[in-house]
Structure 1
Amino acid sequence: MSSKVTLFIGDLSIGGAERVTVNLANQLSENGHQVEVLVISQQGKLINELSPDVRLSVLPVNRMLWSIIPLAKHLRQSQSDVIIPMMAGPNILTILSRKISLTSPQVIVTEHINRTNNYHNELHDIFPKYLYKYADNVVGVSEGVTEHIKDWAKIDPDKVTTIYNPVVNEGITKISPQTPSEFKRNSKTILGVGRHTPQKDFKTLIRSFAILSKEYSEDVQLIILGKGECTSEYKSLAGRLNIREDVYFPGFVDDPFQYMSNADVFCLSSRLEGLANVLIEAMACGTPVVSTDCPSGPAEVLKNGKYGKLVPIEDPEAMKSALITTLENPISAEKLKKRAQDFSIEESTKKYEALFED
């Protein structure tokens, strides 16, 4: 049965939840639903990846916090059957807006992270605890996140479902044969990808690489894609450790999968994740991976180490050892690609559709 579905997020700049929004919107549209992506700001490179059949709408506000009344008006006008907000801010505002809109779309809130941490806005940690119970369904993007929500927000367990993020499709595997210019010949390449924020903890990866580069028998280089508040700090750290010439910061790139497919190892250094989409994307490219055993996603993705080494957070020595082991004894590309298919866009979308009310 076809539904009218709205996905609500701040914008479509490059990020994990933003890419999930695009992937889910496109697949729902392909499956025959009438789909709208609602944003606060019409910006971000991922806008260009929306299907022409997906409608992009913009609320007339400058900040997410001011969107309650405009969102309530939009709900009355759009008459959507289902609204799926992405991340805590949109989740909170959607629940409140529905209450004052005098409409009754099914609200499926999505939680992308464990909220008992120090890396998020305090209001985003407090309000979900008391408001998520008013949603029709709550989706956790990993089993760890789901169990946390049940315990932390005291929600009826029957309302909470685990649906892995829609990450993998054929586009990831159709990689350009061209090698990015940053890759040096005859060097092993370690890759990190993500926003440059304290949560992603690329400082540990840089420190680990500094130790590895002194101990490893071959030439190595480190490439860290992305940008953020910590970029200048990372560059300074690499300079102080005398490895600046071997560490590259290309920023955000149009085709991160090209970098993943050419890297010898992908490393996730985060202190906290919900699922770790980039880990799955690297595996879909056939690239061996190393990850911190942070809450909540990596251990699930890697099946407790079956598909890649897990190391404690903020431990450069342990990370260095895992990277060397993986460089010398990589897991086969086919095994990694097969595991990544468990996070396909098609399967994830089917599980969202199963929640839609008749």
Structure 2
Amino acid sequence: MKVAIFIYSLAGGGAERIVSQLVPYLESKELDVYLVLMNNTCAYSFTTKREPFFLEHSKPTENGILKLLKIPLLAYKYHVLLKKNNIEKSISFLTRPGFISVLTKFFNKQRTIIISERSNSSNQYGYKNLQSWINIFLIKKLYPIADLIITNSKGNAEDLISNFNVPSHKLFTVYNPVSIKTIDAIESKKDFFDKNFFNLISVGRLDKGKNHQLLIRSVEKLKDKKVRLYIFGDGELKNELQRLIGNLRLEKSVFLMGFDSNPYQYLKAADLFVFSSNHEGFPNVLLEAMTCSLPIISTNCPSGPNEILEAEIEYDFKEIFFTKYGLLIPRNDEQKMTEAIVYMMGNVTYYADCKASLKKRILDFENEKILENFYNIFSA
């Protein structure tokens, strides 16, 4: 069976990491996989039987209006690629490839178009600007046309049903996978952190949604404590965050480390994982931190963290919530983040209980189990 996997690029990110795992897995199951890209940035190396196909070679900084205007042309080009290679099933990752793939239905209604939606669309596009309004409009018009939408959390599925008119029978939830064996085999960078400090670590793109300002300002409130924060990731807010660190005189307490394809060596050596997102789909990095036996403090953002940490609470919960794996705090609340960090530093028993519980929970997201769900969808 021939299948196409369509994503903008293989730059560092959760969706890209999943594609880097999914392609070789499906090939091992004797599927003929066509990887389709729009940009040649690649942060993940993996072996594949076939060279990727490029619909175009665009730049991430391309003008937003131009991106919009090109969608119909790219849909036709994608249709031609699928038709030429007799590919009848396509799965797209991330929003723009989703729009493009759905539009191919106008050229061939028999083709099976699957979208893998990795975010909570209402929150990702809730910034009340032109780009957000356009994306919300296109999701409402195009997503219901797809044959199947795979969400990576139940919260994302509910959002599409309630706010984007997607029929519930077209939705199926498959959680993100984590490669436990791969991470377990990686050595800890034991000498990296100064053990005289309580070392916090966070991993994620430096963008508005990840809200790293919250972490930096929380650390500023802990100046009298021996706390350090290490943020791994790149993005458009790097210079802005560096200025904030300088303005708060935190150069010796907060460090922007850039992107690293192997953050696990640092996760295994740190003391606590802190996560400050305003919105998520289903954050892989929480799974990876848990695989590294690292207790969690996370904002209770839509969606994913409360499902991962098995906390049945609403997103507007205003207090710190205790789970078996760490703490959930309200979104964008510096004071609660600060209080949660202090609690983790001072409560050795709770901290140890969290570490002990993580390994059992992470088995629910084991790589092979999750990737098999994708294979079963293609084989149906």
Mark the CA change 1:264 to 1:206 in structure 2 (over 3 Å): closer, same or farther: same
One-letter code aligned to 1:30: S
Out of 338, 341, 345, which is 2:360 matched to? 338
**Are residue 223 (structure 1) and residue 221 (structure 2) matched?**
no
Question: Are 2:202 and 2:273, in contact at CA under 8 Å, matched by a contact in 1?
Answer: yes
**Are residue 27 (structure 1) and residue 59 (structure 2) matched?**
no
One-letter code aligned to 1:26: P
Mark the CA change 1:54 to 1:165 in structure 2 (over 3 Å): closer, same or farther: farther
One-letter code aligned to 1:350: E
State the shift of 1:61 in Å.
Answer: 5.0
Out of 158, 166, 171, which is 1:160 matched to? 171
Question: Are 2:114 and 2:149, in contact at CA under 8 Å, matched by a contact in 1?
Answer: yes
State the shift of 1:53 in Å.
Answer: 3.1
- Partners of 2:157 and 2:309 in 1: CA distance: 18
Query: Equivalent residue for 2:316?
Result: none
Query: Equivalent residue for 1:125?
Result: 136
Question: Superposed, which structure 2 residues align to 1:259-278 within 5 Å?
Answer: 259-278=266-285
- Per the alignment, in what secondary structure is the counterpart of residue 274 of structure 2? strand
Question: Superposed, which structure 2 residues align to 1:63-82 within 5 Å?
Answer: 65=71, 66-82=73-89
**Are residue 205 (structure 1) and residue 215 (structure 2) matched?**
yes
Out of 314, 327, 351, which is 2:373 matched to? 351
Question: Are 1:75 and 1:98, in contact at CA under 8 Å, matched by a contact in 2?
Answer: no
Q: Can you give the 5+ residue segments of structure 1 that lack an aligned partner in the other structure?
A: none
One-letter code aligned to 1:262: A
Task: Spell out, residue by residue over 1:111-159, the C-alpha distance to the aligned partner (whole angstroms, 9 max, x if none).
Answer: 1112223356432222111111111111111010011111222222111
Q: Can you give the 5+ residue segments of structure 2 that lack an aligned partner in the other structure?
A: 59-66, 312-322
- Partners of 1:180 and 1:90 in 2: CA distance: 42
**Are residue 108 (structure 1) and residue 114 (structure 2) matched?**
yes
State the shift of 1:103 in Å.
Answer: 6.7
Query: Equivalent residue for 1:320?
Result: 338
Mark the CA change 1:173 to 1:54 in structure 2 (over 3 Å): closer, same or farther: farther
Out of 14, 38, 41, which is 1:40 matched to? 38
- Per the alignment, in what secondary structure is the counterpart of residue 206 of structure 2? coil
Question: Superposed, which structure 2 residues align to 1:247-286 within 5 Å?
Answer: 247-286=254-293
One-letter code aligned to 1:348: I
One-letter code aligned to 2:88: D
Query: Equivalent residue for 2:6?
Result: 8
Tell me the TM-score normalized by structure 1.
0.91
State the shift of 1:82 in Å.
Answer: 1.8
Query: Equivalent residue for 2:320?
Result: none
Question: Are 1:150 and 1:156, in contact at CA under 8 Å, matched by a contact in 2?
Answer: yes
**Are residue 236 (structure 1) and residue 268 (structure 2) matched?**
no
Mark the CA change 1:335 to 1:129 in structure 2 (over 3 Å): closer, same or farther: same
Query: Equivalent residue for 1:149?
Result: 160
- Partners of 1:61 and 1:208 in 2: CA distance: 40
Question: Superposed, which structure 2 residues align to 1:302-317 within 5 Å?
Answer: 302-304=309-311, 305-317=323-335
Question: Are 1:279 and 1:289, in contact at CA under 8 Å, matched by a contact in 2?
Answer: yes
State the shift of 1:357 in Å.
Answer: 5.2
Question: Are 2:82 and 2:88, in contact at CA under 8 Å, matched by a contact in 1?
Answer: no
Tell me the TM-score normalized by structure 2.
0.86
Task: Spell out, residue by residue over 1:157-209, the C-alpha distance to the aligned partner (whole angstroms, 9 max, x if none).
Answer: 1111111112333112212233474x224222100111111100000001111
In the comparison of the two structures, how many residue pairs are matched?
349
State the shift of 1:334 in Å.
Answer: 4.1
**Are residue 52 (structure 1) and residue 63 (structure 2) matched?**
no
State the shift of 1:54 in Å.
Answer: 5.3
Query: Equivalent residue for 2:298?
Result: 291
Task: Spell out, residue by residue over 1:244-268, the C-alpha distance to the aligned partner (whole angstroms, 9 max, x if none).
Answer: 2111111011311111111100011
- Partners of 2:182 and 2:109 in 1: CA distance: 38
Question: Are 1:261 and 1:286, in contact at CA under 8 Å, matched by a contact in 2?
Answer: yes
Q: What percent identity do the matched residue pairs reach?
A: 30
Task: Spell out, residue by residue over 1:11-39, the C-alpha distance to the aligned partner (whole angstroms, 9 max, x if none).
Answer: 10101111121122222222332222110
After superposition, the CA RMSD in angstroms is 1.9
